[in-house]
């Protein structure tokens, strides 16, 4: 064992002979002539590094066997690490400074340890990053919950818009018509379970042309060919039929009981969008409106119309206008607009829609189903449509007709019907059409500077 600060004693080696003891630590050692010092030693530093190698140490020449005075030779190009079993002294503080031991460092082992630590750190860092990203993704996609109310019951009261729509929609149909020159879409509703459907004359008219066809589509997607039973251009009404039975039938109300402000719901296929429901109120009654579509060849109809602000658009024609009880009170027929759109087509709803009162439509439909044609009330006169004064002036009187029998003459001006003022010829026609043949009306007639009351019994058109 070597005590720190002492000089190790050398034991004789049988192979090499006795070894001379080294000089005491700190003593000067003569420089080997084989390794001259290229520069003088720096002050304060030892002049030599003494290495006592073990025989066979790499980088050190073995002493010649049997040469006791052989001087160890240090290979300056070899690894400077001190070989096991040798002693090296390096004084940084001069010959009299305390001597210190030198720790041995294994560089390859340190490199391996550092690599392992770096690998472990990388793995731990990567795993931590993965878990953080996983938590962030989970928070973003899987665990965020926004407040929301429950769906609740899907049932609605029968007098709500949803309840009305649910009850009426199964009886409403979409009607597609076409001929070699045109095609169009309208609406209608079932009035008898054996396939009878009520719609507008201007909806059905294209199918009545040579080569015309009609297809009726129900809310459940079933489609059937439709045939025209009869039309009445004077009221803009038509009845068509499909070969089906057991159909849901719309409930017909009574238009005489309608009041301004009542709930109004329009159902149909505006712009081909089947089953569209809009709502509003009854805006006015007894609006004199002319309806029909000259583009389809349909004649103008004079309607004592129900006005509504429920949205009605092209394609709604022929569909039902229903009240707050889900009863049909009118047949949607016309709208007022601000003119054609920029594309030249008819513009949409501006909140002025008009429907034929169901009481008139019912009477016409019953006649069309029974006979294929219908009648409307007349008084047997022709009116001067160019008259600009107040009232409707008679231009001609049919001999033997109701007007002739009542004593009306050419030039007479009718200013009121049953006490309601008449502004022009259109209002007179509408007032008469709102009645049925056989009704008696009281006209207020002016002429020759006087005004008289004349009773006229309406007759049926032939």
Tell me the average pLDDT across 372-384. Answer: 93
Q: What is the DSSP string of 84-125?
A: TT------SS-TTSPP-------HHHHHHHHHHHHHHHHHHH
Please give the C-alpha separations between residue 13 and each of 10, 67, 82, 425, in angstroms, as whole numbers. 9, 12, 21, 150
Predicted confidence (pLDDT) at residue 26 exceeds the cutoff of 60: no
Give the catalytic positions in this structure.
202, 236, 317
How does residue 20 score in pLDDT terms, banded at 50, 70 and 90? Answer: very low
DSSP secondary structure letter of residue 284 = E
**302 CB-side CA count, 13 A:** 15
Asked whether the predicted pLDDT for residue 67 surpasses 60, the reply is no
Task: State the Cα–Cα distance between residues 298 and 384, nearest whole angstrom.
Answer: 22
Q: Please give the pLDDT value at position 104.
A: 52
Task: Note the pLDDT tens digit of each residue in 208-218.
Answer: 999 999 999 99
Query: What residue ranges define each of the domains in the chain, with the CATH number in brackets?
Result: 1-118 (no CATH), 158-374 (2.40.10.120), 377-460 (2.30.42.10)
Please tell me which residue, 260 or 69, carries the higher pLDDT value: 260
Q: What is the pLDDT of residues 118-163, one digit of tens each?
A: 777 777 777 766 666 666 555 555 688 899 998 888 888 988 999 9
Higher pLDDT, 312 or 9: 312
The mean pLDDT of the chain is 79
Q: What is the pLDDT of residue 274?
A: 94
Is-contact 206 183, C-beta < 8 A? yes
Q: State how far the alpha carbon of 426 is from the alpha carbons of 320, 382, 387, 429, 444, in Å.
A: 25, 12, 11, 5, 16
Does the pTM exceed 0.85? no
Predicted pLDDT of residue 55: 40
Q: What percent of the chain has pLDDT over 70?
A: 68
Q: What is the pLDDT of residues 418-428, one digit of tens each?
A: 999 999 999 99
CB 307, CB 330: distance < 8 Å: no
Average pLDDT over residues 353-378: 95
Average pLDDT over every residue of 79-100 = 43
């Amino acid at each position: 064992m070597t005590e720190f600060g002492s000089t190790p004693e050398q034991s004789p080696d049988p192979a090499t002979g006795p070894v001379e003891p080294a000089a005491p630590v700190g003593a000067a050692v003569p420089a080997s002539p084989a390794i001259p010092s290229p520069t003088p030693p720096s002050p304060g530093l030892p002049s030599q590094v003494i290495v006592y190698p073990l025989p066979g140490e790499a980088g050190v020449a073995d002493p010649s066997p049997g040469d006791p005075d052989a001087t160890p030779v240090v290979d300056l190009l070899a690894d400077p690490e001190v070989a096991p079993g040798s002693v090296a002294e390096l004084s940084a503080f001069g010959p009299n400074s305390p001597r210190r031991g030198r720790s041995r460092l294994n560089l390859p082992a340190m490199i391996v340890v550092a690599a392992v630590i770096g690998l472990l750190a990388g793995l731990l860092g990567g795993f931590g990053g993965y878990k953080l990203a996983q938590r962030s993704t989970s928070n973003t996609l899987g665990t965020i919950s926004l407040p929301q109310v429950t769906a609740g019951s899907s049932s609605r009261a029968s007098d709500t818009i949803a309840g009305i729509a649910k009850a009426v929609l199964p009886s409403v149909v979409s009607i597609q018509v076409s001929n070699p020159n045109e095609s169009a879409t309208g609406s209608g509703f079932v009035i008898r379970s054996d396939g009878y459907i009520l719609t507008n004359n201007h909806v059905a008219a294209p199918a009545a042309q040579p080569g015309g066809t009609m297809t009726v589509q129900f809310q459940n997607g079933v489609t059937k060919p439709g045939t025209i039973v009869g039309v009445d251009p004077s009221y803009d009404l038509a009845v068509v039929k499909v070969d089906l039975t057991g159909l849901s039938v719309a409930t017909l109300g009574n238009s005489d009981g309608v009041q301004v402000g009542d709930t109004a719901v329009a159902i149909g296929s505006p712009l081909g969008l089947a089953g569209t429901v809009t709502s509003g109120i009854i805006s006015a009654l007894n609006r004199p409106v002319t309806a029909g579509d000259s583009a389809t060849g349909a004649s103008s109809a004079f309607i004592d119309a129900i006005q509504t602000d429920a949205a009605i658009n092209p394609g709604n024609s022929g569909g039902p206008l229903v009240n707050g009880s889900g009863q049909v009170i009118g047949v949607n027929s016309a709208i007022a607009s601000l003119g054609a759109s920029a594309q030249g087509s008819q513009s949409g709803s501006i909140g002025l829609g008009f429907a034929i009162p169901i009481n008139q439509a019912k009477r016409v439909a019953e006649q069309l189903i029974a006979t294929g044609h219908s009648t409307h009330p007349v008084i047997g006169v022709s009116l001067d449509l160019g008259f600009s004064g107040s009232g409707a002036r008679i231009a001609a009187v049919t001999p033997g007709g109701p007007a002739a029998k009542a004593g009306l003459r050419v030039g007479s001006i009718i200013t009121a019907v049953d006490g309601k003022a008449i502004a022009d010829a259109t209002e007179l026609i509408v007032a008469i059409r709102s009645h049925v043949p056989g009704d008696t009306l009281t006209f207020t007639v002016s002429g020759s500077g006087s005004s008289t009351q004349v009773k006229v019994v309406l007759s049926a058109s032939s």
